[in-house]
């Protein structure tokens, strides 16, 4: 049997391992950390459990599909529930409302709390769905880098309908054309941050994202986000996949334009195919540093997505006004993004995302307490003075939350941990600590992202957030599918 070597046990690496095992490959996964999951990991501290990275779970069908593919019932491994309330929004002017899962209810809720008519919300939902219909099969589920894709009728049809996917204006411009109320424009602009982009630059095609959340819904996995990683590792192991932790891959060895070996603990290991789940930038610059002629320099120069600053706070109080997902908007969204993208620092009044998994998973915090995951969007790491930026941001966030919740939050913190662009880069080898690989701030981003296979090295494949189709759990899972389809056909 053929042997597949996978570099990295991020969610895409694990999913690729499962798919290749199902195809009959002997699969071994080499992970630098002592645990699987990469960004999708967890930690506990002083009686609190925190999901370290992702907190919003959408498109659970892509996870289920992996169990079904292996002939298993996903419900024997992994369960989740659909959220009735997707998010609770708070604005600086005191406006507050929930976004219910159903788009008709959402339209009514927005209408009750702003000046926006119900019709404009529904019109936007229809528009978002249209973009999804056109882009889904072509831009997400297939490789854009195979001739075969272009020979399919629906690809050609999508390409001819490019105008309809609204790629010629920015997301912000499009949202302004739908909505009169600035608070509603801000709410819809925020979806650009779901892949680390800037709504004032990114093409309006990203308006597809609200459809994914509002139509397919948002979910909470039993046991928290990390149970996605755990259940998939369990499945992979049952399929015979071998995981080697504490095993950073040092080099990929190429002979005659074919990837032949990986070097781990100074030992050469041979494989028929090699799949890198390591960020594509580091895969070339570190693992393929001996072969500069093979580097796709132009592709590697693309702008990176934004990063994040997270405070994990154990809070000795419970707040009825808060839900699982909460947003506290900034008063000036354009200024906030100018700071992230042009000044490359942190605006004094950032939009704060507060996630509290203990609202659903009560065991995540001690009795009477809550586990707060407090996140703001920040620029990718380019050597800023992070210690100073973080200290200032903490002060501003505490002030903002204390004002909104009318409570001195600092006094309630019993334990704290921090994640910033430097530690994200260090723990998961993400170039510049970007959360989602390259940004989508450019209308051609979908075409410029690195392919799921190397153009110059045979047998070398790529999965994960830094390559096609992009970052976020659902897209990372799709990258695994594209790799395994490609491997199967070659």
Name the minimum Å distance from CB 310 to ligand FAD.
6
CA distances from 253 to 93, 256, 269, 459 (A): 58, 10, 10, 11
CB closer to ligand FAD out of 424 and 483: 424
How far apart are the C-alpha atoms of 190 and 184, rounded to whole Å?
10
- Residue among 278 and 365 whose Cβ is closer to ligand FAD: 278
Q: How far is the CB of 393 from ligand FAD (least distance, A)?
A: 15
From the list 100, 221, 469, 472, which residue makes contact with ligand FAD (rule: CB under 6 A)?
472
Measured CA to CA, the distance from residue 468 to residue 455 in angstroms comes to 14
* Dihedral (Cα; 170, 175, 178, 179), 10-degree rounding: -150
Q: How far is the CB of 324 from ligand FAD (least distance, A)?
A: 12
Stretch that binds ligand FAD, among 31-39, 179-187, 210-218, 334-342 (CB under 6 A): 31-39
DSSP 3-state of 46: coil
Looking at 25-33, 143-151, 339-347, 392-400, which segment touches ligand FAD (CB under 6 A)?
Answer: 25-33
CB atoms closer than 10 angstroms to residue 268: 11
**Under rule CB under 6 A, residue 17 binds ligand FAD:** no
Whether residue 452 contacts residue 467, with contact meaning beta carbons closer than 8 Å, is answered with yes
Provide, rounded to whole angstroms, the least separation between the CB of residue 224 and ligand FAD.
12
Q: How far is the CB of 464 from ligand FAD (least distance, A)?
A: 3
Q: Which two tokens stand for residue 303?
A: 């702008």
Angle between helices 209-216 and 118-135 (to 10 degrees): 100
Say whether residue 310 binds ligand FAD (CB under 6 A): yes
| Choices 172-180, 344-352, 424-432, 447-455 (CB under 6 A): range interacting with ligand FAD | 424-432
Quick one: which H or E segment has residue 45?
A: strand 42-45
At how many degrees (to 10) do helices 226-238 and 11-22 cross? 30
Q: Which residues in the 134-193 window bind ligand FAD by CB under 6 A?
A: none
Owner of token pair 């701030």:
441
> Applying CB under 6 A, which part among 142-150, 166-174, 297-305, 471-479 lies near ligand FAD?
471-479
Q: Give the Cβ contact number of residue 216 at 10 Å.
A: 16
Of the candidates 249, 258, 247, the residue with the CA atom closest to the CA atom of residue 291: 258
Residue 63 lies near ligand FAD (rule: CB under 6 A): no
Q: Which is nearer to ligand FAD, 277 or 326 (CB)?
A: 277
User: What phi and psi, each to the nearest 5 degrees, are found at residue 322?
Assistant: -105, 155
Q: How many residues bind ligand FAD (CB under 6 A)?
A: 36
Instruction: Indicate whether 409 belongs to the interface with ligand FAD (CB under 6 A).
Output: no
Q: Which range of residues in 50-58, 78-86, 109-117, 380-388 is near ligand FAD by CB under 6 A?
A: 50-58
Residue 476 lies near ligand FAD (rule: CB under 6 A): yes
Please state the closest distance from residue 129 (CB atom) to ligand FAD, in A. Answer: 20
Closer by beta carbon to ligand FAD, 131 or else 309: 309
Q: What are phi and psi of 102, to 5 degrees?
A: -90, 135
Tokens read off for 79? 């369960």
Q: Which of 163, 140, 250 is nearest to 477 (CA)?
A: 140
Residue from 20, 206, 228, 278 binding ligand FAD (CB under 6 A): 278
Is position 429 an interface residue for ligand FAD (rule: CB under 6 A)? yes
Q: DSSP states of 469-483 as a string?
A: T-SSHHHHHHHHHHH
Does residue 280 belong to the site contacting ligand FAD (CB under 6 A)? Answer: no
x-or-dash string of contact with ligand FAD, 221-250, rule CB under 6 A: ---------------------------xx-
Q: Are 389 and 406 in contact (CB under 8 A)?
A: no
Contact set for ligand FAD, span 339-398 (CB under 6 A): none
Kindly indicate which of the ranges 29-37, 117-125, 232-240, 438-446 contains the residues binding ligand FAD, using the contact rule CB under 6 A: 29-37
C-alpha span between 51 and 220 (Å, rounded): 12
Nearer to ligand FAD, 7 or 487 (CB): 7
Nearest-CA neighbor of 280 among 253, 257, 298, 258?
Answer: 298
Q: Is 351 exposed, middle or buried (0-12, 13-18, 19+ CB in 10 A)?
A: buried
The C-alpha atoms of residue 63 and residue 73 are separated, in whole angstroms, by 12
Nearest CB to ligand FAD, comparing residues 12 and 398: 12
Q: How far is the CB of 163 from ligand FAD (least distance, A)?
A: 29
Closest to 344 in 3D by CA, of 472, 442, 459, 433: 433
Least distance CB 277 / ligand FAD (angstroms) = 5
By the rule CB under 6 A, 445 interacts with ligand FAD: no
Q: Compute the C-alpha angle 136/137/143, nearest 5°.
A: 110
Among 12, 20, 165, 212, binds ligand FAD (CB under 6 A): 12
Beta bridge partners, 52, equal none
Q: Which is nearer to ligand FAD, 33 or 361 (CB)?
A: 33
Q: Please pick, from the candidates 4, 5, 18, 40, the single residue that binds ligand FAD as defined by CB under 6 A.
A: 40
Residue 29: DSSP 8-state: E
Site for ligand FAD contains 308 (CB under 6 A): yes
Contacting residues toward ligand FAD, per CB under 6 A: 7-13, 30-33, 38-40, 53-56, 248-249, 277-278, 308, 310, 424, 428-430, 435-436, 464-465, 471-473, 476
């Amino acid at each position: 049997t053929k042997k597949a070597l996978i570099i990295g046990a991020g969610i895409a690496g694990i999913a690729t391992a499962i798919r290749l095992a199902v195809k009959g490959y002997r699969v071994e996964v080499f992970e630098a950390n002592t645990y699987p999951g990469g960004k999708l990991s967890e930690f506990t501290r002083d009686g609190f459990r925190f999901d370290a990275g992702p907190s919003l779970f959408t498109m659970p069908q892509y996870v289920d599909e992996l169990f079904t593919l292996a002939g298993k019932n996903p419900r024997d491994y992994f369960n989740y529930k659909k959220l009735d309330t997707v998010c609770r929004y708070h604005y600086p002017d005191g406006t507050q409302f929930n976004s219910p899962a159903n788009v008709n209810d959402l339209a009514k809720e927005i209408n009750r709390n702003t000046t926006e008519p119900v019709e404009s919300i529904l019109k936007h939902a229809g528009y978002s769905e249209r973009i999804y219909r056109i882009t889904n099969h072509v831009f997400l589920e297939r490789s854009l880098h195979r001739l075969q894709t272009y020979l399919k009728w629906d690809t050609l049809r999508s390409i001819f309908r490019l105008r309809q996917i609204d790629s010629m204006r920015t997301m912000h411009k499009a949202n302004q054309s739908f909505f009169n109320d600035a608070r509603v424009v801000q709410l819809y602009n925020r979806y650009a941050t779901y892949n680390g982009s800037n709504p004032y630059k990114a093409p309006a095609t990203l308006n597809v994202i609200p459809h994914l959340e509002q139509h397919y819904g948002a979910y909470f996995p039993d046991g928290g986000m990390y149970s996605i990683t755990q259940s998939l590792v369990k499945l992979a192991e049952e399929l015979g996949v071998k995981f080697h932790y504490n095993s950073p891959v040092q080099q990929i060895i190429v002979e005659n334009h074919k990837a032949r070996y990986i070097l781990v603990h100074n030992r050469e290991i041979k494989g028929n195919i090699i799949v890198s789940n390591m960020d594509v930038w580091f895969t070339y610059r570190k693992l393929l540093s001996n072969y500069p002629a093979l580097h796709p320099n132009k592709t590697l120069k693309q702008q990176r997505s934004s990063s994040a600053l997270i405070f994990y706070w154990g809070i000795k109080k419970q707040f009825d006004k808060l839900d699982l997902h909460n947003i506290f908007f900034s008063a000036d969204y354009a200024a906030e993004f100018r700071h992230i993208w042009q000044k490359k620092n942190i605006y004094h009044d950032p939009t704060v995302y507060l996630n509290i998994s203990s609202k659903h998973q009560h065991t995540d915090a001690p009795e009477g307490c809550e586990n707060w995951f407090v996140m703001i969007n920040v620029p990718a790491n380019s050597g800023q003075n992070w210690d100073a930026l973080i200290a200032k941001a903490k002060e501003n966030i505490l002030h903002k939350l204390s004002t909104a919740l009318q409570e001195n939050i600092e006094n309630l913190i019993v334990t704290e941990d921090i994640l910033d662009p430097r530690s994200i880069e260090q723990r998961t080898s993400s170039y510049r600590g970007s959360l989602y690989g390259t940004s989508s701030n450019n209308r051609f981003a979908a075409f410029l992202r690195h392919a799921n296979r190397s153009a110059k090295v045979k047998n070398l494949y790529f999965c994960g957030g830094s390559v096609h189709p992009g970052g976020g759990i659902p897209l990372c899972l799709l990258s695994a599918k594209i790799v395994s389809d490609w491997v199967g056909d070659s």
